[in-house]
Every structure is written in structure tokens, then in C-alpha cells.
Structure 1
Amino acid sequence: MSDLSVEIGSVQLDNPVMPGSGTFAEGHARVFDLNRLGAIVTKTITHDVREGVPPPRVAEFRDATLFSIGIPSKGVDYYLNTTVPFYRRFTPPLIGSISADTVEEFGALATKLAGSGIAALEANVSCPNLKKDGKAFGMDPEATYLVVRAMKAAGVPVWAKMTPNAGNLIDVAKAAQEAGADALIVGNAILAMAIDVETCMPRVANVMGGITGAATKPIMLRMAYQCAKAVSIPVIGCGGIGSAEDVVEFMLAGCTAVQVGTANFRSPGIMPTIIDQLHAFCERRGIEHLRDLIGAMKPYE
């Protein structure tokens, strides 16, 4: 059987498939063996308990879904006492995802989670920076740099989750790398909105939300490719992935691994199916090591 293993800094994965934060929960353990995953990424948490935004929170389209969830969280103590022990029963590396309102809070939360058995921390820099008039950390290279640096001080690997809404994405990616990020995740949902023409009301209560799903894949693939060309740290692709072919496409563009998001809602058992498809793809193409595909896209002569 082909070798699907990849490395993201010091984190070893048996295969490149993991869930996107917020699209996966403990209930998936009743659907398939979680030990099959390359890594387990938990839902983004905050230090304190948060409710998220009011409903309606979701609007579905043919090939995409508009989400406006906010970041509901049971807080860091619940996470450490309940969520982490649940997932530590399984063998894949456990990746935590955190959000905060200030650089200092990012650092404090990373410090509190260090030593809990988490292999790496995802910095959700798509959240608003209260010291910068609510502008998302991930839209500002300096703010992203400060967040990653504060988290790295906790002594845990940091993966910076990029926002596709940044017009200066490459500058942000380079700032994250300069601050010591061990990987980039490209990326979070694309800012969007929809209106119900019968009620004349927005389809989600918060008016705007993030759109994800298959329709976004070409955009996210382009962004992942650009980031992979601009930095030397691993890039994890995320956006519209629902098959082995999607995974291979992101890897050819330069990604080391991928996160599966919206597809988990449509088909809770999709990730092990994708892993099986990857094995079949490699066997069919005579590929011994899947990692050989990273950045192997062939240019036109």
C-alpha cells in the first residue's frame, strides 16, 4: 500500500486529511474510526464562554453554504477538562484552534493549552482585533505577526489560519512565517451575503457570513498556490475539498496537507472515504509516496 504520510514541521501525519475547525465534533467517533485521520482539529475555542450569533445561521446553495455562526465556545476550562481528554484516546495528532480579542489573550490562551497533549495550535486570525477597530488580525501583517509571536512564546507549534478576505494575503503569509509560524492554513471562509427576495430579509441574521463549499475551491486553490510559492513553511489547503482528486489538486499546487470542511456536514463519513480514494489513486498511478506530489504541478512548456 502506498505511503500517504506527510510532515508539518515537527508534527507527523499518517495521511494528509484532517477536518477543518468547526466542522467536526465528538459525534464523528460514532460514524468512523477517528484513528484513520491524519490529524484531529477541534472547534475554535475562546477563553470564556460565548454564545455565537443569533439564528438563522446557515443558508445553503447548490455548491456552497453560507455560515454565520460566530464562535460559540464553552470556554477553555471545559475544553481542557472534557474535549481534550476525549480526543487523546485516539492516535492522530490533536490540533487545537483558538480565537481571542487581543494579542495578549492569544498568548495567554496558548500558554494555558501548552502541555495538555495538543500537538499544535491553530491561530484563527480571522477574528476581529479590538485594538484595531475590529479589523481582523489576519488582514493586517503586523497584527498577524504579533499573534503568532505571542503564541510561539508558549512553546507549542503554531499553524496560522489565513483569511481569504485579505487583499494583501502574501504579505500576511510572510509575516506569519517571520513570526515563527510552523504552517499556514489557507484558508478560512470568504465573506459573502444573501437576501431572501420573498421576505426582503438577509438569509442569515448577521447579514454577512462566510461562504464555503465546492464552489469556492478554485479561489482557495489559487490562494494556497500563491502562499506556497511565497513561503518556505508547509501550507495546508482548505476550501471545497470533497474527494481524493481535490486533495491531489491542492498538493500539486504546493500544499502538504488539507482540511475538509463543508463536506463533513453533507457526508459525515467523507474523510475516511477520501483516504481510501487516495490509496486507490496512488495504486492506479504507481505512486509510492504521496508526498512526492507536493508542488509537482507541471507548467506548460
Structure 2
Amino acid sequence: MTPSTSTQPKGPDMRVNLCGVELVSPVIAASGTFGYGVEFEEIVSLDRIGGFVTKGLSREPMAGNPAPRIIETAAGMMNAIGLQNMGAKAFVAEKLPKLRSIKGAVVIANIFGFTVPDCLEVIRILNDAPGIALYELNASCPNTSHGGMVFGTDPALLGGLIEACKSIAKRPVIVKLSPNVTSIAHMATVAAGAGADAVSLVNTFLSLAIDVETRRPRIANITGGLSGPAIKPIAVRMVNDVANAVRIPIVGLGGITRPEDAVEFLLAGATAVEVGTATYADPRAVENIASGLRRWCADHGIAKVSSLTRGMIR
């Protein structure tokens, strides 16, 4: 008798389901650190990671904040890029056709706007463009004077923004939450109640660094967003807080540099994770962490990575 062959890959099943979209791995490249995806095509195998989130896309092109706008810190980095991007229309015309030709690439479009109508216009531009799997609504950037964190720290504004976006979005909407709040669990509850399909957390922590020689802020924007390993324990705690508060999927991020870091977020309640700052030190960090997570599961007898998503750690 001829032995039967299986179409499933050997080893642990690394697939996860995020808002109805099947990802080959729970490890995703975070927004703002992976460009528009095409820049990494020759470096990272896009079909071996869960997906990637584009730079924040706005209604019109944005130049971002003046330099200096990124600095290294003791255990991470601060940035105040200011959501520099080419605009949604240019992304659809110039980047998305190439992305559609890359087999296995899962594109998550990050959406940003200064006002609710701005966000709605971005969604309208993207809605009929093929090749996008999900939206990530940025309600949390700390590096703009309006929009962004203004939405993410006010429950009423956040709920109104989500309801408006969900009313016209043709794809599932992940809402990216700000950690710069008294209770992120409450904000996640607001997001879920307003119709969010999932939440991602956490974005960067509002921070300040001063040059003691010049006695001036080291970043032109004065404040910036802190990311990297320094924030990971706080981010894991916040993911667990949210897992205890809502029943929609959670995407965890904040300081992931090793496969074990990703495991922590999954055990805290995340369905998937995003890797951001680590990419600046190693452009292949996302793929390396995805591969490392597979090995970790194999070494620990984990048949399905999705089984790690438990949450409810009290």
C-alpha cells in the first residue's frame, strides 16, 4: 500500500484566525516599521509571516514632524515621525499592485485621520482596492497635535470614531489603542461596544528626553513615543487586562524581540502579535521571530500555536 501524503506542513500548526482572516503565523510586522511592505520583499519572505501593517495612511500625503525625530534610548527608542506617508490614493496606485503580486502576503492597512471625516475618506479610498485583508484604525499615535491619541484617550470620541468607520468599512477593523490612559481595559470595552472587530495594543508611551548639554529636548517635537524592550512588561500586563475585559481578538505588541516575548503576549490573551522596534536593529526580525516561535512550539510539544492564547491571568 502506498503511504498517504499530507498537505499540512510537518511540525506545529502555526495558523491563527484573526477576524476571519487565516494567518500562517501569529507574528505580524507592525505599522511604521515595515514601510509599505514592498521595501522588505527582498529581505523578508512575506509568505512566512502572519502579515504586515502598512505605514499609517492618511487622506492626503503628510511630511511628518521635523528632525531630529528618532533617538535611541537605554532599552529601546523614542520617535516622533508624525505619521509621514504618501497618502491613501498613492498607496493604492503605486504600492498595492506590487503587493498583490507577492504570493502569500497579507496586507493590513493602517488608517489615520485628524478628524472622523478624514478617516472615513481613507476607508472609502481603500474599500474597493483589492489586496487588503484588514484595516487597523490608528486611534493612538502620540506624535500629532490632533487626531491619533486625542481619539484614543477620550471614550466618547473613540466610540464615535469606531462607529462611523465600521458603518462604511468593507473589511474587519482592528482598533489600535493608546497606553496613555488610566484604564486601557475600559477603552477596549468602549471599542468593542462600538463595533471593533479586534483591538491592537499597545502603541508607544508618551515620553521626553532632554540633552543635558544643550538643555533642550532631544526630539524636535519635544515629546515622542517610547517603544522597545523597556515597555514590554507593561504591554503584557495591559494585554492581560484587556483579555479579562473583552471577548474580541487582541493583537499584542510592545518590545517583542524574541520568540519567548511573543509567547508571553499569547499567554496573556493575544491571538497575534506585532513586531516593530526590533526591525530597526534587524530587518529580518519579524521572520526570525516567526521561525523561532515555530521552533519553540516544537520544543515544548505545542501542537497548535493558537492553544497558547488563554488570557484570564489574574
Please tell me the TM-score bracket, short chain as reference.
over 0.9
Contact 1:102 1:129 in 2 (8 A): no
Mind listing any 5+ residue stretches in structure 1 that lack a counterpart?
none
Q: Deviations over 1:144-199 (max 9, x none)?
A: 11111111122221000000002232221111111111110011100001001111
Matched letter for residue 101 of structure 1: F
**What amino acid sits opposite 2:123 in the alignment?**
A
Worse-matched range after superposition: 111-120 or 63-72? 111-120
**Contact 2:57/2:122, CA 8 A, preserved across alignment:** no
SS of structure 2 residue aligned to 1:2: coil
Amino acid at match of 2:209: A
Q: What is the aligned partner in structure 1 of residue 134 from structure 2?
A: 120
Are the equivalent residues in 2 in contact too, given 1:124–1:162 (CA < 8 A)?
yes
CA shift, 1:130, in A, is: 5.1
Change (3 A) 1:297 1:130: closer
Q: Secondary structure at the match of 2:90?
A: helix
Question: 63-72 or 146-155, which moves further after superposition?
Answer: 146-155
Please name the residue that 1:189 is paired with. 204
Identity %: 37
Shift of residue 288 of structure 1? 0.5
Correspondence 1:78 to 2:93: no
Instruction: Report if the CA contact (8 A) 2:89-2:125 is conserved.
Output: no
Paired residue for 1:180? 195
Tell me if the contact between 1:8 and 1:182 (Cα under 8 Å) persists in the aligned partners.
Answer: no
Q: CA deviation at 1:82?
A: 1.1
Aligned residue among 142, 148, 151 for 1:137: 151
Q: Distance in 1 between matches of 2:305 and 2:75?
A: 28
Corresponding residue number in structure 1 for 2:8: none
Match for residue 19 of structure 1? 29
Unaligned runs of 5+ in 2: 1-10
Is 2:58–2:118's contact at 8 Å kept on the other side of the alignment?
no
Q: TM-score by structure 1 length?
A: 0.94
> Does the 8 Å CA contact 1:189/1:210 hold for their aligned counterparts?
yes
After TM superposition, where is structure 1 displaced by more than 3 Å over at least 4 residues in a row?
127-131, 296-299
Instruction: Compute the displacement of 1:297 (Å).
Output: 7.4
Q: CA RMSD in A?
A: 1.7
Aligned residue number for residue 42 of structure 2:
30
CA apart distance, 1:16: 0.4
The 5 Å alignment of 1:1-301 reads 1-25=11-35, 26-90=38-102, 91-117=104-130, 118-127=132-141, 136-154=150-168, 155-295=170-310
Distance 2:133 2:298 in 1: 30
**Residue identity matched to 2:158:** T
What is the DSSP-based 3-state SS (H/G/I as helix, E as strand, rest coil) of the residue aligned with 1:52? Answer: coil
Looking at structure 2, the residues matched to 235 and 143 of structure 1 have their Cα atoms a distance apart, in angstroms, of 21
Number of corresponding residues:
297
AA matched with 1:208: T
TM-score, structure 2 length as denominator?
0.90
The letter of the residue matching 1:235 is: I
Secondary structure of the residue aligned to 2:292 is helix
Residue 34 of structure 1 aligns with an amino acid whose one-letter code is: L
